[in-house]
Amino acid sequence: MLLRVFRWLSVLPLGLLQALGAALGLLVYALSGVYRQRLRAHLQQAGYDPQRLARKAAAHAGRMVGELPVVWFRRGAAAPVHRVEVIGKEHVDAVRAEGLGVLYLTPHLGCFEISAQMAALWGPITVMFRPPRKRALLPLALASRQRHNLATAPANLAGVRQLLRALRAGEAVGLLPDQAPGNGEGVWADFFGRPAYTMTLPARLVQLGKARIILASALRQPSGRGYVLTLEPFPEPLDADPQRAATQINHALEALIRRAPEQYLWAYNRYKRPAGAEPPPAQHGEELAA
């Protein structure tokens, strides 16, 4: 049923769906105290004024939801990939000219779903995929990712091996590096001035898969006009130490987010402590606030 609804919604104008999504985002912000508190706290942690930015961020979070039917299910000449302006593709071409794999790192910024779809136009890409917790959403999530040149890898050891094989074959892989990993899969590293449990997988893939990192951010344009996808090489070599490498990645993501902070998913529970993980050093054994 939900799959049919999304397919039906995908024929509606992108601008209309984004506008409806923005209204939904503002409604959730008004009604949910937990959502509102977390969003405002994370903005303030990053040095932003919640009074100025919180409602804009909530509206963009709603736009992200509203645009999903189009991004996931519209195909052919009307597909949203045809409404993406790409800046920096020469950096991807340069990595491929070296015979290396491309590791795209894309934060929860703007329309991050469109980044992998664009990369699939240039060659095979494998993205790490975590199935939704609600089983009813699984058919929807799987159907949305069924497209040429786009494969998914599970978030487990078998999936990591699949990513490594793709990189060693000179293909591309994609990760959301600001997604909180499970215990044993990350380290505590600074993110906007606060320790966040950060995945170590990107550094391992670079070291073992003979790959180069490309930072990707797809920012939403006003009034449903489309997106601007910016691709850029990682600004410095990754440190061999996992904790320092994770900090480097977090700081690179911060720079992307600060270009359009209203389009970041600030309400995502980025600072949570995974079950069984040691507490962050700065907390001296106390639990992190959600």
Is 177's pLDDT higher than 90? yes
The mean per-residue pLDDT over the stretch 23-48 comes to: 97
Q: What pTM was computed for the model? A: 0.92
> What's the chain's average pLDDT?
92
Q: pLDDT tens digits, residue range 102-117?
A: 999 999 999 999 999 9
Cβ atoms < 10 Å from Cβ of 30: 12
Q: What mean pLDDT do residues 93-100 have?
A: 95
At 213 the pLDDT is 97
Q: Label residue 175 exposed, middle or buried (CB < 10 Å: 0-12, 13-18, 19+).
A: buried
CB neighbours of 127 closer than 8 A, spacing ≥ 6?
Answer: 116, 145, 150, 151, 152, 153, 173, 174, 175
Residue 170 has pLDDT above 60, yes or no: yes
Q: What is the mean pLDDT of residues 210-225?
A: 95
